[in-house]
Amino acid sequence: MKYKGFHVKITPDSNLLRENKDGNDVRCEGFTIEVFADESEQLEIDIFSAAVDFELLENSLEEAEQFAKDYIDCEEKEYCRMIDKYNED
């Protein structure tokens, strides 16, 4: 997926760790989301996950894509700073 000039790779993951409301670790299904500067995937900017019943309501690629877009919207300035710094070096 491409969003705001970033290349986003979304991979199903059945082994995400989260902490439930009782403080216990639980394994969840969801998605691992990687953000790259471009389609070459040589400069990874960020990696995060979205788990069903935590960040996602259902186990769907569409919901994971929307979560990734929302996350990128929040982090876009920092991502651009990281790319600028990388290009300076």
Contact 13, 47 (CB under 8 A): no
Q: What is the pLDDT of residue 87?
A: 85
Average pLDDT, the chain: 95
Q: For residue range 11-49, list pLDDT tens digits in order.
A: 999 999 999 999 999 999 999 999 999 889 989 999 999
pTM across the whole model: 0.90
Q: What is the pLDDT of residue 89?
A: 73
Give the separation between CA 70 and CA 76, rounded to whole angstroms.
Answer: 10
- β-strand pairing of 2-3 with 6-19: antiparallel
Residue 52 token pair = 């069903």
Contact 4, 72 (CB under 8 A): yes
Residues of the chain with pLDDT > 90, as a percent, come to: 90
More confident residue, 87 or 11: 11
Contact 64, 50 (CB under 8 A): yes
- Nearest by Cα to 35 from 17, 48, 50: 48
